[in-house]
């Protein structure tokens, strides 16, 4: 006969407590001291770290110093109200993913819609129920934890991209230059905000697949043979494989895959032609080639601007590059070269 399990019996008799993530910080924002203290007491009982703000300005200042995990935000406050606080937080990349639970005495449907439009993730009506507050905070923390995990995975991929510089000494500086030039070119050609964001990410990640290419090929001082070239061309597909699991990088995948395609269909890996190649990928192709031309590589010296432009225009004549993209790039680099260098600061003269 089996012996009873005391631990199991105790667990069955006692409701299982759902512990919050260790060190979870909840920011309570309300102009009513009574409401703040009530929420503070309830949340500390659940093991959360609670901080308080008396108004919208204090809340914004606190979040700027130390972003919390969840914000409980009163809608109606003097000065900067909760709607405006939520709107400002959701407009900033470094704070827009913090869950905001709006607490409001307003019951009109239009006010609830106003909360949602301001960016609130949940809302609770006053007088609030203690159990509902706890449930909403738990749900918000679960969402925050999942978001943080995805953000960590994205950071790992970007760190991997930066690690490529250990294999190819020129890649790191190349990435910085390509990011700035591709973004400027995308804006000049009228790309929408989401595609500009994709170009910025792809500028860092477009060569991430080179992590799978042997060092001997990456840094070979002479031309690649057929077998080496076949391996090198796989870096676009390898890059897509690495980045595909993250939803946040989906916009960058077409650029990573197709930045070596050519307008006449002679590129790789898929032989796309003309408008089959997204404009963002055509931009990356031209910027990538321009920067390679003006950079010293194991197999070539650095070329001056005029020679780089001449080679790009030859490529247009050969059907490789988009004419509009090349000419827009030529305008940008010409304007950059024409800008006068800033005057050096005047050294202060000492008094006699």
The answer on 127 and 24 residing in a single domain is: yes
Mean pLDDT of all residues in 141-164: 67
Which of 151, 182, 197 marks a domain boundary?
Answer: 151
**Residue 242's domain spans which residues?**
167-337
Examine residue 285 and state whether it is found in any structural domain, yes or no. yes
Mean pLDDT of all residues in 84-111: 82
The whole-number pLDDT of residue 105 equals 73
The answer on 143 and 178 residing in a single domain is: no
Torsions phi, psi for 29 (to 5 deg)? -120, 115
pLDDT band at 350 (very low <50, low <70, confident <90, very high): very low
pLDDT at 107 exceeding the cut of 70: no
Which of 126, 151, 176 marks a domain boundary?
Answer: 151
The whole-number pLDDT of residue 345 equals 42
Q: What's the rounded Cα separation, in Å, for the pair 73 and 30?
A: 7
The answer on 34 and 178 residing in a single domain is: no
Lowest mean pLDDT across 8-22, 53-67, 197-211, 288-302: 8-22
Question: pLDDT over 90 for what percent of the chain?
Answer: 41
Examine residue 2 and state whether it is found in any structural domain, yes or no. no
The answer on 138 and 30 residing in a single domain is: yes
The whole-number pLDDT of residue 265 equals 96
Q: Please give the structure tokens belonging to residue 272.
A: 């796309």
The answer to whether the beta carbons of residues 219 and 298 sit under 8 Å apart is: yes
User: What is the domain-level CATH number for residue 74?
Assistant: 3.40.50.2300
The answer on 315 and 173 residing in a single domain is: yes
Which of 99, 122, 151 marks a domain boundary?
Answer: 151
DSSP for 78-112, written as a single string: SSS-HHHHHHHHHHSTTTTTS-EEEEES---HHHH
24 Cβ neighbours under 8 A, 6+ residues apart? 48, 49, 69, 70, 141
The answer on 132 and 25 residing in a single domain is: yes
Q: Full-prediction pTM beyond 0.75?
A: no
User: What is the domain-level CATH number for residue 219?
Assistant: 1.10.3210.10
Give the E-state strand segments of 158-272 in sequence order.
Answer: none
The answer on 209 and 312 residing in a single domain is: yes
* Greater model confidence, 117 or 197: 197
Mean pLDDT of all residues in 65-92: 90
3-state secondary structure of 49: strand
Examine residue 186 and state whether it is found in any structural domain, yes or no. yes
The answer on 130 and 179 residing in a single domain is: no
Examine residue 14 and state whether it is found in any structural domain, yes or no. no
96 Cβ neighbours under 8 A, 6+ residues apart? 89, 90, 119
The answer on 145 and 58 residing in a single domain is: yes
Number of domains in the chain: 2
The answer on 142 and 222 residing in a single domain is: no
Examine residue 118 and state whether it is found in any structural domain, yes or no. yes
3-state secondary structure of 316: helix
Report which of 258, 92, 70, 244 is spatially closest to residue 154, judged by C-alpha positions: 244
Largest CA distance in the chain: 103
Left, alpha or beta for 221 (phi > 0: left; psi -120 to 50: alpha)? alpha
Examine residue 10 and state whether it is found in any structural domain, yes or no. no
Q: What's the rounded Cα separation, in Å, for the pair 257 and 239?
A: 7
The whole-number pLDDT of residue 176 equals 73
pLDDT at 37 exceeding the cut of 70: yes
Mean pLDDT of the chain: 81
Examine residue 235 and state whether it is found in any structural domain, yes or no. yes
Tens digit of each residue's pLDDT (9 = 90 or more) over 124-136: 888 888 888 888 8
DSSP for 50-76, written as a single string: EEEESSHHHHHHHHHHS--SEEEEES-
Examine residue 345 and state whether it is found in any structural domain, yes or no. no
The answer on 194 and 131 residing in a single domain is: no
pLDDT band at 301 (very low <50, low <70, confident <90, very high): confident
Lowest mean pLDDT across 103-107, 163-167, 242-246, 347-351: 347-351
The answer on 101 and 178 residing in a single domain is: no
Q: What's the rounded Cα separation, in Å, for the pair 26 and 17?
A: 19
* Greater model confidence, 143 or 311: 311
């Amino acid at each position: 006969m089996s012996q009873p399990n005391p631990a199991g019996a105790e667990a069955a008799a006692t409701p299982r407590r759902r512990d919050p993530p260790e060190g979870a910080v909840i920011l309570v924002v309300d102009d009513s001291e009574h409401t703040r203290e009530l929420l503070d007491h309830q949340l500390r009982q659940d093991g959360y770290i609670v901080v308080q703000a008396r108004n919208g300005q204090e809340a914004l200042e606190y979040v700027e110093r130390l972003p919390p995990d969840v914000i409980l935000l009163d809608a109606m406050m003097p000065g900067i109200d909760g709607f405006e606080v939520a709107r400002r937080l959701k407009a900033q990349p470094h704070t827009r993913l913090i869950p905001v639970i709006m607490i409001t005495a307003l019951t009109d449907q239009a006010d609830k819609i106003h909360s949602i439009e301001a960016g609130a993730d949940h809302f609770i009506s006053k007088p609030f129920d203690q159990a509902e507050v706890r449930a909403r905070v738990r749900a918000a923390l679960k969402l925050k934890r999942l978001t943080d995990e995805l953000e960590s995975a994205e950071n790992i991929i970007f760190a991997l991209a930066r690690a490529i510089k250990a294999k190819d000494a020129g890649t790191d500086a190349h990435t910085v230059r390509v990011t700035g030039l591709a973004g400027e070119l995308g804006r000049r050609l009228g790309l929408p905000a989401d595609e500009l964001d994709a170009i910025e990410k792809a500028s860092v990640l477009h060569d991430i697949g080179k992590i799978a290419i042997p060092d001997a090929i990456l840094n070979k001082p002479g031309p690649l043979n057929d077998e080496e070239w076949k391996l090198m061309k796989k870096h676009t597909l390898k890059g897509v494989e690495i980045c595909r699991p993250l939803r946040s990088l989906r916009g960058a995948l077409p650029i990573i895959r197709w930045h070596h395609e050519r307008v006449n269909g002679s590129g790789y890996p898929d032989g796309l032609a003309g408008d089959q190649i997204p404009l963002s990928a055509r931009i990356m192709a031209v910027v990538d080639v321009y920067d390679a031309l003006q950079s010293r590589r194991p197999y070539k010296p650095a070329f001056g601007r005029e020679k780089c432009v001449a080679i790009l225009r030859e490529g247009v004549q050969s059907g490789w590059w988009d004419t509009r993209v090349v000419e827009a790039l030529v305008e940008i680099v010409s304007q950059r070269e024409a800008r006068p260098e800033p005057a050096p600061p005047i050294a202060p003269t000492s008094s006699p």
